[in-house]
Structure 1
Amino acid sequence: MSKLTVIGGPSSEQLAKKIATRLKSKFVGCELRVFPDGESKITLKKKPEGRIIVVQSIYPPVDSNLIRGLAITSQARACSSNVSVVIPYMGYARQDRQFLPGEIITMEVVAKMFKAAGATKIIVVDIHSMIALEHLQIPAKNVSAVEELARHFKKMSLHEPLVVSPDKGGTERAQNFAKFLGVDYIALEKQRDRKTGNVIIKSKGIDGIRGRDVILVDDMISTGGSIVKAAEFLKKQKSGKVYVCCTHALLIGDAEKNITKAGVTKIISANTIPGKTSVVDVSPIIAKALT
C-alpha cells in the first residue's frame, strides 16, 4: 500500500485523527501561533509523505480558517503531487451566486484559491448548495451526513416522529432523512428578506402534527433564526417534543439559547464543527469518499 498522510488543520484536528485512524494512515498535526495583529503562523509537526489529505473546516473565524487551510494545502503540495483537501464545513458556500446587484460571488474566489494553492481534489460535507460545488475548478465531491444523523435518531425513543424541513429548499434532505427512519416528512414555507435577513413562516395550520415528536432537519444553523421561527410554529400546532438536527452547528452568539427558549428539547449535529452538540461522527463517510 502506498504511503498516506492525513494533516489535521487547527479547526479539525480531532476529526482528522479519526479519519487517519480509519484509513490506517500517518497523522500530522499543526502548531498554530497567532500574532498580535491577527496573522496566523502554522508549522507542521512532522513531514508528510506520499498521498496527502488535508482536513480543515472553514467555520468562524472564517477568514482565518480559510487562510490556514490554504497555507497547509500549499505546504502539502510542496511535498506531494496528490493533495486531497477535506473541508467538512465549507465557509462562503452561501455566496454562490449574485442575489443583489454588485454582490461578489465569493465562493468562486475561494475555489480559485484552493486550486492555486495546489489542491488536486476537494471533499465537502453537506455543502450549502450544489451551485457552490460547481465553482470548484478541480475534482470535487459532496458527501452527505444525513444517514449518519438519522441513525442517531433511530436509537432514540420518539413518539410518532415527524421529520420537518424549515423551508422548501430542504425538502429533499428531509425526505431522505425520513426515508431512513421510515417516517413521514413535511416542508414548511418560509420567506427571508434578502436585505434584513428577517425570516417569517408563511405556512398556515398543518394537520397531523399534534402530539407527535418532531425532528427539524437542516444543513446548517448559524444564528438560528429560521429554526426558532419553525420551532415556535410547530409548538403552536401542539406538537410533542421538538428536536433540531443539522450537519453544521455554527450556533453564533445566542443561537443555542434562543433555540432552546423556542421550545426545542435538544440540538444534535455532526462533528464537522466541534462543539457540545456535535455528537455524530462523519469520519466514516469521509474516509469512504477518500478510498
Structure 2
Amino acid sequence: MTTGDIKIFAGSSGKSFAENMCSYLGAEVGISETRTFSDGNTFVRIGETVRGKDVYLVQSIGLKPNDEFVEILFWIDAFKRASADSVTVILPYFGYAKGDKKDEPRVSIRARVCAEAIETAGADRVVAMDLHSHQIQGFFKKPVDHLFALPVLCEAIARMQLPDLIVVSPDAGFAKQARKYADYLHAPLAIGDKTRKDHSERAELMELIGHVEGKTAVIIDDFSISGGTLVELSKLLIRRGAKRVLACLSHLVISEAGLRKLEDSPIELIIGTDSVYNPRLSSSSKIKIVSVAPLFGEAISRIHSRDSVSPLFEKVSERVIARALEHNRD
C-alpha cells in the first residue's frame, strides 16, 4: 500500500482533523466542496474522480449535529453515485450516541436511527472513538472499528508527572472505563455517585466513594456539555481534601456557558482531544488539546492494508504519541 492509494475527504466539521490525519499519513485531503444555501439546504460536491477507489470520509457529529449528520448522508450518496468502490465513515465524535436506549416511554433510540440511515445511504464501514456505550456498535450491521482515546490521553497525563495521582470516575456507569485509565497510570480509583432526574443537562452529585485527601485528582469522562458534573465533582473533591483537580475528556463539546463554569471552578486543567472542532475553547488557558488524528490515521492505514486494528485499542506507537502530543490548537 502507498499513501496515494488512500483517498481521504473531509466534511464541513472534519477539515482540520482530516488535514492532521493526512499529515500523519503523508497524504493529501481530497478535493471537495460543501455549501449551505440561504434556505438552509446543504449541497456537497466531489472535486476529483473516486471511481473504483476506497474512500474515507471524515466528519464529526458535534456542535451542529443535525446539519453534520445529514451532510454525512449526502456525502455517502455522492461517493456511491461517483462509483467509489467503498465508503468508510470516520466519526471522531458521534454526538447522537447519547441516545442509545429506550429508558422512558415514547422516545426514539436516536443512535440506532442514525446508524441505520448511514448504512442505508451506502456506508461500508464506520470508524468511531469512545462511543457513549459499547453496544452502539451493534446498531450497525456493517463493521465498526471502535477506537479509544485512552492511550493518548494517559500519555499526556503521565508526562505531566503529577504527584499522588488518583483517577476519579464521575459515576458508577463510567467506572469500568475509568478503571482502565487508573490501571494504565498505576493509580487508585475513586467513584462519584451521580444521578440525572430529567433532560436539563444537570446532574445531582450525591456522594464520593474513595479516599482523595492529599491527592491530585484527575476526573475522567467521555464528554461534557454544561460542565455541571465536572464543576460539582471538583468542589466535592476539594472539600474531601484533594490538593489539586484536573479533568480529562475524550470529546470537548463544552458549551459557552459550560466553559464559563469551568473557568470559575477549582479545576486547574482540562485535557481533551480534537475529535470535535470547538472554536470557543481557544480563549481558555485551562484547556489543553491533544490530537487523536494520528490514531485515526494509523487505523486507516491498517484498515486499508488489511491489517489488524485491535493493537491500537490499548497501546499505540511512540510515533502516534509524539504526533498527538505535539498538536497545537488553531
Please, which of 8, 13, 22 is the counterpart of residue 10 of structure 2? Answer: 8
The answer to whether the 8 Å contact 2:58/2:91 transfers is yes
- 2:199 aligned with 1:200, yes or no? no
2:76 corresponds to which of 48, 57, 73: 73
Distance (whole Å) between structure 2 residues aligned to residue 117 and residue 25 of structure 1: 27
Letter in 1 for 2:11: G
Separation of aligned partners in 2, 1:84 and 1:51: 8
Counterpart CA distance in 1 for 2:31 and 2:224 is 28
Residues 93-172 of structure 1 correspond to what in structure 2 (within 5 A)?
93-172=97-176
Indicate whether 1:242 and 2:245 are aligned. yes
Q: For residue 68 of structure 1, report the CA deviation from its aligned partner.
A: 1.1
The 1:236/1:83 distance shift into structure 2, 3 A limit, reads same
Q: 4+ runs of 1 displaced by more than 6 Å? A: none
Shift of 1:195: 5.0
Asked if the contact 2:215/2:242 (under 8 Å) is kept, the reply is: yes
Post-superposition shift, 1:279?
Answer: 1.6
Q: Distance in 2 between matches of 1:51 and 1:32?
A: 21
CA distance in 2, matches of 1:47, 1:244: 44
* 8 Å CA contact retained: 2:13, 2:60: yes
Q: Cα deviations across residues 89-111 of structure 1 (Å, max 9, x unaligned)?
A: 00211111111100011111111
* Corresponding residue to 2:64 among 61, 75, 100: 61
C-alpha separation in 1, matches of 2:217 and 2:288: 19
Between 74-83 and 39-48, the greater mean CA deviation after superposition: 39-48
> In structure 1, what is the equivalent of residue 276 of structure 2?
273
More helix by share: 2
- With over 3 angstroms needed to count, the CA separation of the structure-2 counterparts of 1:254 and 1:137, relative to structure 1, is same
Amino acid paired to 2:136 = A
Q: Give the count of matched residue pairs.
A: 290
CA distance in 1, matches of 2:242, 2:48: 53
Asked if structure 2 preserves the Cα contact closer than 8 Å seen for 1:28 and 1:47, the reply is: no
State the SS of the aligned residue for 2:256: coil
Percent identity reads 23
Quote the Cα distance in structure 1 between the aligned partners of 2:198 and 2:137: 22
TM-score (norm 2): 0.82
Structure 2 counterpart of 1:32: 34
RMSD: 1.8
Label 1:289 to 1:208 Cα distance change in 2 as closer, same or farther (>3 A): same
Structure 2 contact 201–226 (Cα < 8 Å) conserved: no
